[in-house]
Structure 1
Amino acid sequence: MSKAHLPTPPDFLIKEFASFQPKDRQAIAIKVAKLERKVFPAIEHFNYDVELKKKNIGMVLAFKEDDTDTVVAYLVYQRMKRLVWLHKLCVLEQEREKGLGKRLIEFLRTQMEKGGCQIHLWVDSNRKPAMALYKSCGFQQIEYRPDYYGPGRAALKMELSIGE
């Protein structure tokens, strides 16, 4: 089975951004940026015009099978040899608790299994659902930084070793 089409929860399609035709990527990046503005504080927004042009940045997207024009979840990562940084994971509020976040992480994990590597991320300690998701996927906390995201907003560094 191709990496671009792993089994997903019913009614969802998960695809790697790079699997889209180059002419379609700009429209997808605009949709992701719009979704991000709804979900994350302004200080955490990415500049997708810049980030997605970097060779080591990847993105995994989820769509409803009956509406492949609407991005319902995405994951952004950066690959650096045997280390992958999971930078963003976003699921539309009305699509949460359907397994999409876990499927995006599993998709990334499957892509990175060859040769063994680690996936690292930072998560705001106040984002309990995100922390629960990462722990359920096997991530372990390896570091704690107080006030990382601002006063009173501590960060946890988590890692997942794969393919070893």
Structure 2
Amino acid sequence: MKSAAVFILLFFTVTALSAQQEFKSPEDLKAWLPAEIAGYAEDADNHASEQQLQGKLYFIAAKQYKKSQEAISIVIIDYRTSVQVITSVTSAWEDGKEVNNELIQSKNITIGNNKAKEIYDKKNNSSQLYVYHNDQYLITVSMKGDYMDLLKQVITNLPFSRLP
């Protein structure tokens, strides 16, 4: 009887904490993104939206940052109840394959405790860094040019501790 009471108490505590720790709207997710990163100021080109795919709800927020003629884009997707979608995508990152040909350079890496994939598109001269965080979030940082070190710095300085 005592163990059943402990289980019920634990269940309600975990449920309450989980409910407390999720973004309530796409705008909340957008507010998580900083106003300035690595000397790049937030541009007016930003948005947040709610999407539904196969009955599963997720939030998307994006901000653009500019300095002179350069721009960095950050997109964060909160997969919420669609964790299996992102898990199927990122599970391929574990194979350790690296690609380096005339079109693309790509490799799977780890940033902190997060699985990540870096891609340099040689044909279009653009860099993308994808980071999978906490089995729920996919964060993409991208910009024109071969700036992978800068993108890693940007990702490292994002406020991950403030994500639910």
Q: Structure 2 length normalisation: TM-score?
A: 0.31
Q: Structure 1 length normalisation: TM-score?
A: 0.31
Q: Which has the higher strand share?
A: 2
Bigger radius of gyration, 1 or 2? 2
